[in-house]
Structure 1
């Protein structure tokens, strides 16, 4: 009598994790739940919170830092960090404003030059990180001081006013239902959607994640890691230039004092959005959620009459909690 033993198929031996577990492992789910809970909490504590005008205000308040955080996300995904983005943005804004107001070049050319200079700052950061090489923390810390000094030297510590409409257009509003929304807010949302597609649906995006997971493995698979790193920093610099234009359009002036804490605020948004500081894990759309968490907390606490110092305190606690969750998640996945 012959017995037949049937080996289990690979499909049967490797079962797919349940849907609930897969959802919980998505880095954006936690931040999104926190955002929804915060909205529910503040809606019970302030009648103004759920109004369309208030949500439009929140988006306006986070659009500059949120745009900076897009560039910061790209760099953190490669296991780097950028401390200079706020200073680069400030220099880009002053450059655009002064060139346009002085009549040196037409306003649209001034905007283009500002974007190019910000991209050049990013490219220099990337070259220093890869060519020497130096740690991203040190490179961008040095670049922070360089951009900060150049901003004050070029502006002579004077705020630039009287900007042409080309520089302030994104601060104007259009109506969505009964709510006024700025064009700048729409640009910020469009940028998040574009980079979500770029990272999730293109080879370039997959290479960025591979670089963050393991530069050596990425190099052995044929990815030109040096060129990719420089490209990421350059694209991030260009995004900082767009943030500079959004800042100028929102405030209506070129301010040499701008952006001094925006580097840390952008890192906060990235971390709260579930992107790992160790690289290779995270989503740009999560960064949007992280920026909205900060905006919702600050707006909600302000409506409740809580002093601003406590808003900063709560933001710090949220950052530590987010990094702790990331560390625990990494240990479980080892």
Structure 2
């Protein structure tokens, strides 16, 4: 019994470890620099309406990034997140429009569809021991095909008003704030608390740090992984609802870039792709950094290709910083 006692302390202590200073401050520094640059080059940037618009624009990717963070903390990755979100988008709108189900039931159907895909991903990873990259690459294509077949590749326009309510706004100091933005921020706070203060959150970090040691101390690692994928699937369903609320339609062509955008937000936010280290609030910062960059470049009238270029550079820098931090930690 005494041989397992030291190992037990490591998994529970893992989430308490602070990120390296550079990992903690990187997103904040990038955000401050971007705001300073765009604030001095565009007089419209520093306005309540513009910041509200940025948050509305990043809400869908921001919620997807919460689920992606849960997966990346386990040293996995989910390439299917955007397409699963699109499937939930189509399911909830088509069920409401074509079958006349009340909005709450239709939303539940969409959430159920995305949760089932999360369950499928989790079972393939935990039961068949397939690499998450390969599993989610496969389910990306499956979700895309099902979305196109179920919707007949047609946009669903007859969406009930209850599904678009999160896209409506209320005013604070003359600035319109969308209810969907508040939902996104609330989900980040709840997830942050769960990861930081609950046993399940500590187990998630432990699995990402050292799955074998975690298993040896009695934590059911497969159950932790499965829960992470299912929760991520549910969050993709919430993102689908936010997408419907923002656009007012069920779009079968949605979600084709959101997977990369969400991974970008997570990486820029300081969560290690090697698992076991990071903060969901960092993912929020990463999503806002990307949103600010795109907004600022648009205000400057630059072609959208520069947004892609700068985002790619930021991802490489974030991964490089993560590698340097890991190597420094081993010394």
> TM-score of the superposition, structure 1-length normalised?
0.92
Q: Distance in 1 between matches of 2:85 and 2:201?
A: 24
- Give 1:47-86 correspondences, 5 Å limit: 47-86=43-82
Q: Which moved more, 1:22-31 or 1:81-90?
A: 22-31
Query: Are 1:220 and 2:206 counterparts?
Result: no
- Post-superposition shift, 1:26? 6.5
For residue 45 of structure 1, the aligned residue among 32, 41, 48 is 41
> TM-score of the superposition, structure 2-length normalised?
0.93
Q: Distance in 2 between matches of 1:72 and 1:109?
A: 26
- Post-superposition shift, 1:234? 0.2
Q: Which has the larger radius of gyration?
A: 1
Alignment CA distance shift 1:153-1:23 (3 Å): closer
Structure 2: gaps of 5 or more residues: 1-17
Q: Distance in 1 between matches of 2:196 and 2:59?
A: 22
Question: How many residues were matched structurally?
Answer: 313
- Post-superposition shift, 1:25? 2.4
Query: Are 1:182 and 2:170 counterparts?
Result: no
Q: Distance in 2 between matches of 1:107 and 1:25?
A: 46
Q: Deviations over 1:83-137 (max 9, x none)?
A: 0000000000000001111134211100011111111110110000010110000
Which segments of structure 1 move beyond 2 Å, counting only runs of 4 or more? 22-28
Structure 1: gaps of 5 or more residues: 1-21
For residue 294 of structure 1, the aligned residue among 290, 293, 301 is 290
Contact 2:34 2:292 in 1 (8 A): yes
Q: Distance in 1 between matches of 2:224 and 2:22?
A: 26
The corresponding residue for 1:285 is: 281
SS in 2 for 1:181: strand
Contact 1:27 1:286 in 2 (8 A): no
Contact 1:65 1:266 in 2 (8 A): yes
